[in-house]
Amino acid sequence: MKESLSTVEERMVELTLPRNQTNMTVVSAVMEHSCLQNFNSIACTRSSILASLAILTSLLCVYKLVRLHVAKHPSCHQYVIFYTAGLECATGGMHWIFWNVSQLDFLLQYMKLLQVLIMCHYYITLAIRALRRETLADRFMYPFLCLAVLYFTIVTTMGIFNAESTHVECIAPYWIALSGAEVLVVQLFAISGFYITRRLNEISTLDSVRWTQKRDLWCIVIVFELSAWGTFFYDMILQIKGDRDTGCSAIFSHRQDLYSSFLVSIMVLKLLLPIWVMLFVLQPHVTVIEKEEGLPNFSDDGTYGSFFGEDQTYKHLYQPDDSFVYSSSSTSPDGSPCMYDACLPYTYINTAMKPSGPSGLQTIEEENLEDSPSMVKKTSEARACKGAPSHPDRTGRGMRTQKGKMATTRVVSKDAPRGEKC
């Protein structure tokens, strides 16, 4: 009799409780458990793995920044990227161990989106210069990037201030708004990679160097594509399957192991994997002024150096108008039809190079090969370094700059004695 009464009382208690009270208890076990809060072994393992990877990545970012500062790397993009990435990883490590709140999730996503915009700005700028459409930067690129930063800032701020409990955090509309915009930005990144690749095909260089340049470029593009689309599909599935009554836990069948495995995978894909690839691809390089003999780092055949080294290397995609080409009538060591001077060993230019497609883009070598008086003067001065007879009957006045001003140019021989200028 007593057993039957206790059973009836338990049923009456269940009827008086809200329908989602049991779900809230399960949600707490699945979404809110960690090493310090509501300890659970599986959840603690999940948090420890994510925090360890984040802290290790943060240390690698600090090491990369030290190398950048020591080398005095000329590109500011890498400094901003790795400072932001280091701060993101440090915040993620504290978040996954100590502060399991949804506001930090939005902050991590925002810092990742800033890195995407910086990389997008870097490569879109290169593509615009390669196409010789610098006016597009002022008309379209800068307004678009400003709008993107403003959009991400507004959406993230709304998500932080309107954050709800962990019970329904995953189905907040702000996540799909951020990941959808990220996919759009990454597509512009991929289009820029296509034009940069086409320009690389038109530049005379070693096949191995060209392959390395393309590999590094498309490693970044592909990883950012995977990260953006993976995050977008994950948020889309949560939006479709999620329900405010059952909460986020029902999507994972209230299983801690299933939720933890999904969370580790998506956090690595969304936040950590792009940073790892950038740490591998983006390398610090000494500025041209500080290199040995003041010469750029060109390849053995005298063409071009590493594509992803620094801004000085990127300029070979578009060859600024105020630059000039040293030339000589002598042939290159391998007998190929190019202009070569032993006094200036880094200036091999393949004059037979033609555009590979109907794009109308001239190759870099075809743009400044006119027999101008300034080039003749530079040739005679360069030959004087080797003791070769010059042509006194030919005079030059220097290359014309973009503003139409005339500037004389002094050529310093690599092999000339110190203090001797020619």
Between 197 and 308, name the one with better pLDDT.
197
Mean pLDDT, residues 265-279 taken together: 94
| Residue 411, helix vs strand vs coil | coil
Cβ within 8 Å of residue 272, ≥6 positions away: 53, 54, 57, 89
- pLDDT 10s digits, 351-410: 444 444 444 444 334 444 444 444 545 455 555 544 544 444 444 444 444 444 444 444
Environment class of 229 (CB within 10 Å of its CB; exposed 0-12, middle 13-18, buried 19+): middle
Rounded CA gap, 130 and 191, in Å? 13
pLDDT of amino acid 67: 92
Between 251 and 274, name the one with better pLDDT.
274
| Residue 21, helix vs strand vs coil | helix
Residue 252 per-residue DSSP state: G
- pTM of this prediction? 0.64
- pLDDT 10s digits, 197-218: 888 888 777 777 778 888 888 9
CB 132 within 8 A of CB 201: no
pLDDT of amino acid 417: 44
pLDDT of amino acid 140: 85
Mean pLDDT, residues 301-327 taken together: 41
Least confident of 244-253, 279-288, 344-353: 344-353
215: closest CA among 285, 280, 125?
280
125, two tokens: 């700028």
Between 310 and 267, name the one with better pLDDT.
267
pLDDT of amino acid 371: 47
Residue 318 has pLDDT above 80, yes or no: no
Residues 149, 152, 156: CA angle, nearest 5 degrees: 140
E-strand stretches of 249-408: 338-341, 344-350
pLDDT of amino acid 52: 94
Rounded CA gap, 161 and 410, in Å? 61
Mean pLDDT, residues 178-182 taken together: 95
pLDDT of amino acid 305: 36
pLDDT of amino acid 53: 96
- pLDDT 10s digits, 78-97: 899 999 999 999 999 999 98
Give the chain's domains with CATH numbers. 34-281 (1.20.1070), 319-386 (no CATH)
Task: Report H helices in 173-272.
Answer: 173-201, 207-241, 256-267
pLDDT of amino acid 381: 53
Identify the residue whose tokens are 């290169």: 126
pLDDT of amino acid 107: 94
360: closest CA among 123, 131, 126, 128?
131
Please provide residue 344's backbone torsions phi and psi, each rounded to the nearest 5 degrees.
-130, 75
- pLDDT 10s digits, 110-149: 999 999 999 989 888 888 887 787 777 778 888 999 999 9
Residue 266 has pLDDT above 80, yes or no: yes
CB 237 within 8 A of CB 338: no
Between 31 and 254, name the one with better pLDDT.
254
Average pLDDT, the chain: 70
Least confident of 50-54, 74-78, 256-260, 291-295: 291-295
E-strand stretches of 8-149: none
Least confident of 97-111, 139-153, 165-179, 191-205: 191-205
Rounded CA gap, 391 and 383, in Å? 10
Please provide residue 349's backbone torsions phi and psi, each rounded to the nearest 5 degrees.
-135, 125
Environment class of 224 (CB within 10 Å of its CB; exposed 0-12, middle 13-18, buried 19+): buried
pLDDT of amino acid 233: 95
Mean pLDDT, residues 52-63 taken together: 95
Mean pLDDT, residues 294-302 taken together: 37
pLDDT of amino acid 79: 92
- Measured CA to CA in angstroms, residue 78 lies from 86, 90, 309 at distances of 12, 18, 11
